[in-house]
Structure formats: structure tokens, C-alpha cells
Amino acid sequence: MDIVTPVIERYAHEHTRSEPELLCELAEETRRTRSDHGMLTGRLEGRLLKLLVQLVQARRVLELGLFTGYSALSMAEGLAPGGELISCDIDPRAEQFALRYLARSPHGSKVTIRIGPALETMASLNGPFDLVFIDADKENYLNYYRAAIRLLRPGGLIAIDNTLWSGRVLAPADAADRTIDALNQEILLDQRVENVLLTVRDGLHLVRLRS
């Protein structure tokens, strides 16, 4: 199920300022060389993530799900000099791909990659973070949310991708569907936070920890 009709999606894409040329190149190589290129966040969400980093004036960002580095570099662009972004992934191929682009970007030095299961990496990190972007394996989304809250500063933001899951949250059929639906419900009932579930792309759940 398309969350937004393709023509509206295209219109929104065309009326959103373009990402830097390097990110276009990264996206193009990802589409050309990776059969799983559907995991790319892309222009609309990438520009939104950069904006969110700027709006919360983030100095420390944590990302779960590096893939080829598109969202990491988008968010790094929004970080002031001296800011840092830690990006987690389990796949060393993702690291090799992303490192080539980080090396060419003026924002690449802000990014540190941590390879391994994201939950283990999170357990080894000290907070607080200003923003956490969750975009790794869906079966762990509830665990990621609970761990992210512990690492977040009061007033900080969690952005969780794919929270409409192509509409499968309406009739959950497998573990991933059920976890995402349960997470959306848990957030709704969580008195520590304010939230809005945006219909951007595949659903982007924004969660602010009350200060």
C-alpha cells in the first residue's frame, strides 16, 4: 500500500530543496549496486532529518541503521561543527560503502560508525543524546525505543522510520508488523513523551521526551 499517492510523493520531492551532489551520487550508486536499495531514506526524509537536527540544535545524534550512509550524512549536515553522530549497523559491507562517501564529505568527520548488533552498541554508550533516529531491524523496534529513551536528554527527540510499514500496521500478520503496531501503541500511552505519527514516506513517528 502506498501511504502517499505516487504523484503527490513526486510533487513533494520536486518541491523540496535538493540534497548536495555527493548525496545524489551516493543514492545513485546505492540504487545501481544494491538490490535492497528500497531501504534508502531519500530526499524528502533526508532533508526532514537534517531540519530536525537543526531545530533541536543537536550536538549528539545516534542512528540505528547506517546502510549506505544517506541518512547519516543528511543529519551530519545539520550538526554544528564539533557535533557528533554515532551510526550503528550490523553489516560491515554497509560500513565499507558509507566510509567512501564520509571521506569525501565536509561533514564526514562528525560521523563514527559502530558495527555490531545495535542493542549491544547502545548498552555500551553513555548519554545524553539530543536526537535518536531508529531505522534498523523492525523486530527490535520496541527494544530500540526503550533503550533510546534512556539515552535521550529531556526535550530530546526520537524519530522512528517505517512506523506505518506500508499499511501493514492495520492488520498485523507477522512479528515485524506486530512489533511496529505495539510500539506505536506504547508511545501513545507513554506519559513521558509527546508524539506525532507523520505520514511522510512509510511513516515517521516523532517522539519528544518531556523536559
Q: Out of 118, 122, 169, 200, name the contact with ligand SAM by CB under 6 A.
A: 118
Assess 136 for contact with ligand SAM (CB under 6 A): yes
Q: Rounded distance, CA 77 to CA 51, Å?
A: 9
Q: Rounded distance, CA 139 to CA 63, Å?
A: 17
Assess 88 for contact with ligand SAM (CB under 6 A): yes
- Is it true that the peptide bond before 128 is cis, omega within 30 degrees of 0? yes
Exposed, middle or buried: residue 90 (CB in 10 Å: 0-12, 13-18, 19+)? middle
Question: Could you tell me the smallest distance in angstroms from the CB atom of residue 154 to ligand SAM?
Answer: 26
Q: Among all chains, which residue has been given the C-alpha cell 492488520? A: 171
* 130-138, 165-173, 178-186, 190-198 -> range binding ligand SAM (CB under 6 A): 130-138
Assess 90 for contact with ligand SAM (CB under 6 A): yes
**70-78 and 92-104 helices cross at what angle (nearest 10)?**
40
Assess 105 for contact with ligand SAM (CB under 6 A): no
Question: Could you tell me the smallest distance in angstroms from the CB atom of residue 120 to ligand SAM?
Answer: 8
Assess 125 for contact with ligand SAM (CB under 6 A): no
Assess 184 for contact with ligand SAM (CB under 6 A): no
Q: What is the DSSP letter of 202?
A: T
Q: Out of 67, 129, 145, 165, name the contact with ligand SAM by CB under 6 A.
A: 67
Q: Give backbone dihedrals phi and psi of 35, rounded to 5 degrees, phi first.
A: -70, -20
Contacts to ligand SAM by CB under 6 A = 39-41, 65-68, 70-71, 88-91, 94, 117-118, 135-137
